[in-house]
A and B are shown apart, each in its own frame.
Chain A
């Protein structure tokens, strides 16, 4: 058999953990090879080794059967390895063409030669059906097109091995379909693709084979067509996982949160409102989900409701009380919990220990302080309880610095803190972002549990699977306006996608 990439018995240790423990990865020429694993399973480490960013402690890498040493990303490039990062590395105010040639420019006497480059780009673009406009600025084009630019960048450099790091995370359903077509086309043309993901249905759709890692160990490489999604997820997590959230029908009561004609500007001189006349209710015992593509006002909505950003006009009512102008602290005390979108920016003090972070919302209550002095025994007790209850894993338990914890466990810490506050309204913004199947399952079950306890849940999510799975009612947000209201049982992902992209709109009242 001829493999284009052979990574054999790769072992890489970091102080305290074995990130890769004799991992094998064999990729055939022209195949789409999925790399599946939970967070911290060692996918990124393995790819960083292949891309030359880390050196393995043990093991061997062969490209086209030849043993190679990849010392840095330049070596990787020379060997034809290219990577599309999860967060694109493009220059916003450069044109598409300029971005593609950046770093591989042809110059004559120091003058940039773009003409030939343009021809080559256009040729590649038609050959691989990667439609781009070479003269548009990156800032002006859609995320889907930006991704195509990233792919063209790799092909322009004659890379034969393409690594896609979670490429679908930022795309709409329509764009995902497009991407899958492109990947198939690339494979047909003889490119080999490594596809890092944790979304099983995408693997089923596009990949030929799949290598599964778990906790740094190599589990298996399977033929995707002969393996079910359930089997793969079981191999990934190490136990049976429920992919569908099981929940009873919602039993909504009266409204907990009422938002009326809410408008918000990020600064006084902004032309456009970030949120425009947003009106909705969240009722007791329901999960209301706001779906939309990133950057359509979701962040601002969460900030406006929790009080972090002041609103320009409109009212916000919690349990019949007007809280439009209330402070963050008073909203929190009155019963709003907020799982923020960016756990590092807002949700955690990374330099603080786990136990200190677990009291961030309640350190001032009599539970944890007496006459202004922190009650360390109570704080420890609280941490020990939550760590056990929510299965938060860390190196040193309560005294672990949160910075050193994995993303999933950091998120669990936030969720533990916000849920145990026993709120009337739980605002969860992308609560499972970047988390693995096991953690997602757990967090979803906790959110449903909140609903079943009669709490109101406002879920703001970019993941349509999550939206369809969890919600009892869906609102679609587009450019700061609510453009559609749906019952998840009566709508499909494609229809939602049209509303999310702004091509359809309904009057919502």
Chain B
């Protein structure tokens, strides 16, 4: 009996010391830390309902049962995609801060195709529209990738510039195009939507659609590309050490461009998925960068750039947003709610720091145990 428990104990220890567990535990610690800081902010904003507010924030994702949960997945879809975009670029040594621009041009092209290409039957039009979104995002990221590869221009600067080019270009194009709703100063609804794929039966009355399935598919594909293919091996090798990549005969310039293009396609697709989900989402003609692109950075950080982690992180942040709606019941205004969520996300970015702490604690413990063993031997 004792042997069995010690066996289990050893197994548990082995599991606890795996890299994956460490990553997971550190993210959880970061989240708890973030919630604690968020709670302090709640007290500052309105101390009377701070506790109720926190409960609402934490349970809002389940407040209306499956409906809320379905909405969580709906909200999670675009930020999982932009998170994947940022995480993929990270893994290959690039920082894609251009997610917002890529998302926006992706959304524009998606809506445009879906609203105007009437020659394609509407049952498949949404697929074409999404492909257009991905292509547009890819094109937007191609420019920074090309400049980085050939002229060694820092991709952060060019991607930020592409963000603004994207915003102003889209704002300029919408009024000139047939998808403009001039009375509301926004885009018209698309003609073909992403199907519900039966998910509305599981999550009734929610905004969920097959978008989330496409996002999950992307998570799986990115994971496979990065970890199982020669292509991913090349991209990562160049990302970690460009010189070694070159030495091994890998075309490092091609790698940089392709990494950016793939990251851009993911962000572009995020824009398409968000706007073709039949939830009445539109692009309004205002000079503001869409938040979802920047949220991707937080999601990627919280998920430690790991596709699975990004899925969890994106869902978590969407869960908080959903919970945030319910905080309004206690008189918290949306701005305060956003600040609190932002604080939690901000603190969550410390997950890398927590990982270091965990590693240190672990090695200290090991040292102590070694010393103990040594002492017993004496």
Quick check: A332 and B231 within 8 Å, CB to CB? no
Please judge, given known A-B contacts A349-B241, A350-B240, whether A361 and B248 are in contact too, CB under 8 Å.
yes
Q: Which of A43-51, A63-71, A368-376 contacts B (4 or more CB under 8 A)?
A: A368-376
B338 CB–A CB distance under 8 Å: no
Quick check: A346 and B244 within 8 Å, CB to CB? yes
Quick check: B240 and A374 within 8 Å, CB to CB? no
Quick check: B237 and A352 within 8 Å, CB to CB? yes
Instruction: Return chain A residues, CB-CB under 8 Å to B245.
Output: 349
B119 CB–A CB distance under 8 Å: no
Q: Dominant SS at the B interface? A: helix
Quick check: A373 and B241 within 8 Å, CB to CB? no
Quick check: B233 and A328 within 8 Å, CB to CB? no
Alpha-carbon gap, A332 to B250, bound state (A): 11
Alpha-carbon gap, A301 to B51, bound state (A): 70
Quick check: B240 and A363 within 8 Å, CB to CB? no
Alpha-carbon gap, A347 to B241, bound state (A): 10
- Using a Cβ–Cβ cut-off of 8 Å, how many residues does chain A contribute to the interface with B? 31
Instruction: Return chain B residues, CB-CB under 8 Å to A84.
Output: none
Quick check: A15 and B233 within 8 Å, CB to CB? no
Within residues 324 to 367 of chain A, which ones have a CB less than 8 A from any CB in chain B?
Answer: 327-332, 338, 340, 345-352, 356, 360-361, 363-364
| B176 shortest CB reach to chain A, Å | 43
B229 CB–A CB distance under 8 Å: yes
Instruction: Return chain B residues, CB-CB under 8 Å to A330.
Output: 249
Within residues 100 to 114 of chain A, which ones have a CB less than 8 A from any CB in chain B?
Answer: none
Instruction: Return chain B residues, CB-CB under 8 Å to A329.
Output: 249-250
Among residues of A, the one whose C-beta sits closest to the C-beta of B227 is A374
Please judge, given known A-B contacts A363-B233, A374-B229, whether A15 and B244 are in contact too, CB under 8 Å.
no
Most chain A CB neighbours (cut-off 10 Å) among B236, B240, B243, B367: B243
Counting chain B residues whose Cβ lies within 8 A of the other chain, the interface size class is 20 to 34
Quick check: B249 and A332 within 8 Å, CB to CB? yes
B366 CB–A CB distance under 8 Å: yes
Alpha-carbon gap, A83 to B366, bound state (A): 35
| B365 shortest CB reach to chain A, Å | 11
Alpha-carbon gap, A116 to B53, bound state (A): 73
Quick check: A349 and B237 within 8 Å, CB to CB? yes
Within residues 2 to 51 of chain B, which ones have a CB less than 8 A from any CB in chain A?
Answer: none
Please judge, given known A-B contacts A15-B363, A15-B367, whether A374 and B247 are in contact too, CB under 8 Å.
no
Quick check: B244 and A349 within 8 Å, CB to CB? yes
Alpha-carbon gap, A347 to B248, bound state (A): 8
Most chain B CB neighbours (cut-off 10 Å) among A308, A329, A369, A374: A374
B230 CB–A CB distance under 8 Å: yes
| B239 shortest CB reach to chain A, Å | 9
Among residues of A, the one whose C-beta sits closest to the C-beta of B249 is A329
**What are the interface flags for A296-322 relative to B under an 8 Å C-beta threshold, 1 for contact and 0 otherwise?**
000000000011100000000000000
Among residues of A, the one whose C-beta sits closest to the C-beta of B248 is A360
Among residues of B, the one whose C-beta sits closest to the C-beta of A13 is B367
Among residues of A, the one whose C-beta sits closest to the C-beta of B237 is A349
Quick check: B249 and A372 within 8 Å, CB to CB? no
Please judge, given known A-B contacts A15-B366, A308-B247, A329-B249, whether A369 and B240 are in contact too, CB under 8 Å.
no
Instruction: Return chain A residues, CB-CB under 8 Å to B367.
Output: 13, 15
B228 CB–A CB distance under 8 Å: yes
From A346, A347, A351, B240 is in contact (CB under 8 Å) with A351
Alpha-carbon gap, A346 to B238, bound state (A): 11
Most chain A CB neighbours (cut-off 10 Å) among B228, B233, B246, B367: B233
Quick check: B228 and A340 within 8 Å, CB to CB? no
| B236 shortest CB reach to chain A, Å | 8
From A331, A338, A348, B241 is in contact (CB under 8 Å) with A348
Quick check: B229 and A349 within 8 Å, CB to CB? no
From B230, B234, B240, B243, A345 is in contact (CB under 8 Å) with B243
Please judge, given known A-B contacts A340-B247, A347-B247, whether A372 and B241 are in contact too, CB under 8 Å.
no
Quick check: B233 and A356 within 8 Å, CB to CB? yes
Quick check: A372 and B244 within 8 Å, CB to CB? no
From A13, A361, A373, B249 is in contact (CB under 8 Å) with A361
Quick check: A328 and B240 within 8 Å, CB to CB? no
| B160 shortest CB reach to chain A, Å | 27
Alpha-carbon gap, A350 to B228, bound state (A): 19
Please judge, given known A-B contacts A328-B249, A332-B249, A361-B248, whether A350 and B230 are in contact too, CB under 8 Å.
no
Within residues 339 to 378 of chain B, which ones have a CB less than 8 A from any CB in chain A?
Answer: 363, 366-367
Across the A-B interface, the 9 shortest Cβ-Cβ residue pairs: A329-B249, A328-B249, A346-B247, A351-B240, A360-B248, A15-B363, A369-B230, A349-B241, A349-B240
What are 13 pairs between A and B in contact, CB < 8 Å?
Answer: A328-B247, A340-B247, A345-B243, A345-B244, A346-B243, A346-B247, A349-B241, A349-B244, A350-B240, A364-B230, A369-B230, A372-B230, A374-B229
